[in-house]
């Protein structure tokens, strides 16, 4: 059977059934009842469980990742998305045409009325505060808050093989000239007391997608100082990076360089280990 047919939701469901102690025959019967051919269902179950055992044995977290594809485009839910650049370490992928120009504009219009000065997480308490390290304005949508967010979330879930319910709501940020986001990691430092409460809700962040909603006239690249990589903000494009451990060795230190001319608008989607309620 083809790998593509095992959706992230099905993968998650099969693992949950097995880990809840349901016998393989029960899982198979449920899959047959929802229309799966017996042989295809059996190979899907085997594929998922072999991968799961390997993951548990190695102690590695699974992270969002592109489905295997030799080409420069992938079909993601409702759209062909271009793969412009791929890097292994750090794991960084730059996408083209993740969003249409109309979607970029519509997301900025929906976000505009709720924009307020961005805050950063206070590691010691798990709360948040206004901080010079982040001089943008921003807002959060709740997951699935409107049709457009739901569509983009389904697209990212399909693109990166990651369940839609493991995603945080989309955040929109707006930078004016001089505004920046100093280099940081997106995971929560497990050693910080404030992280405990944050991690109860969906576990660690394991991946980030920064979508560019406009093209600033100058400045505003997303920079990865430990990898020597700068990704320029271009409307409709996006940068994805994954981090299987919450550690600087992932080389995912990144920042938003100061915008020099014009504005920069981005939408960020963070992906968690588990369901984010
Ligand atoms: O706007 C960016 O380029 C940027 C850079 C670093 C956004 C984020 N981090 C983020 O939203 O986490
Ligand atoms: Zn970040």
177 lines ligand 1 (CB under 6 A): no
* Pairing verdict, β 128-129 and 137-140: unpaired
Q: What single DSSP character describes residue 41?
A: H
- CATH for 230: 2.60.120.620
Surface-to-core class of residue 180, CB atoms within 10 Å of its CB (0-12 exposed, 13-18 middle, 19+ buried): buried
Span from the CA of 106 to the centroid of ligand 2 (angstroms)? 23
Q: Write down the pLDDT at residue 88.
A: 94
Q: What is the pLDDT of residues 110-167, one digit of tens each?
A: 999 999 988 777 777 778 877 877 888 999 999 999 999 999 999 999 999 999 999 9
Pair (50, 96) in one structural domain? no
The strand pair at 254-256 and 222-224 is best described as antiparallel
Is the minimum distance from the CB of 137 to ligand 1 under 6 angstroms? no
What is the reported pTM? Answer: 0.82
**Are residues 101 and 11 part of one domain?**
no
210 CB under 6 A from ligand 1?
A: yes
Specify the 3-state DSSP secondary structure of 160: helix
Residue matched to tokens 């890097």? 87
Domain that holds residue 200: 73-272
Least Cα distance to 270 among 183, 211, 208, 186 occurs for: 208
DSSP 8-state class, residue 193: T
Q: Are residues 177 and 52 in the same domain?
A: no
Q: Which of 62, 91, 106 is the last residue of a domain?
A: 62
- Looking at the fold, whether 38 and 79 belong to one and the same domain comes out as no
Q: Render pLDDT for 230-249 as a digit per residue (tens, 0 to 9).
A: 999 999 999 999 999 999 99
Query: 133 and 53, same structural domain?
Result: no
Do residues 156 and 204 both lie within one domain? yes
Q: What is the pLDDT along the chain (277 residues), one digit of tens a residue?
A: 444 468 878 888 999 899 899 999 999 999 999 999 999 999 999 988 987 887 776 666 789 999 877 789 999 999 999 999 999 999 999 999 999 999 999 999 999 999 998 877 777 777 887 787 788 899 999 999 999 999 999 999 999 999 999 999 999 999 999 999 999 999 999 999 889 999 999 999 999 999 999 999 999 999 999 999 999 999 999 999 999 999 999 999 999 999 999 999 999 999 999 999 9
Q: 166 and 37 in one domain? A: no
The reply to whether ligand 1 has any atom less than 6 angstroms from the CB of 45 is no
């Amino acid at each position: 059977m083809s790998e593509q047919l095992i959706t992230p939701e099905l993968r998650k469901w099969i693992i949950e059934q097995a880990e809840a102690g349901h016998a393989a025959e029960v899982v198979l019967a449920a899959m047959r009842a929802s229309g799966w051919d017996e042989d295809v269902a059996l190979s899907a179950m085997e594929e998922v469980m072999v991968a799961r055992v390997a993951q548990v044995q190695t102690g590695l977290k699974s992270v969002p990742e592109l489905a295997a594809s030799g080409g420069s485009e992938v079909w993601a839910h409702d759209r062909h998305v271009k793969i412009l650049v791929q890097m292994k370490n750090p794991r960084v992928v730059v996408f083209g045409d993740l969003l249409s120009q109309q979607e970029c504009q519509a997301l900025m219009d929906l976000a505009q009325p709720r924009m307020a000065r961005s805050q950063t997480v206070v590691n010691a308490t798990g709360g948040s505060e206004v901080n010079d390290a982040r001089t943008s304005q921003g807002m959060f949508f709740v997951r699935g808050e409107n049709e457009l967010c739901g569509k983009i979330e389904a697209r990212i879930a399909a693109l990166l093989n990651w369940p839609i319910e493991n995603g945080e709501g989309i955040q929109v940020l707006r930078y004016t000239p001089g505004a920046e986001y100093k280099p940081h990691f997106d995971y929560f430092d497990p050693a910080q007391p404030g992280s405990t409460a944050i991690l109860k809700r969906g576990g660690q962040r394991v991946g980030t997608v920064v979508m560019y909603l406009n093209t600033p006239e100058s400045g505003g690249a997303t920079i990865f100082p430990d990898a020597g990589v700068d990704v320029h903000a271009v409307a409709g494009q996006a940068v994805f990076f994954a981090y299987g451990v919450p550690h600087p060795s992932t080389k995912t230190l990144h920042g938003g360089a100061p915008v020099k001319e014009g504005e920069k608008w981005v939408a960020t989607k963070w992906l968690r280990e588990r369901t984010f309620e």
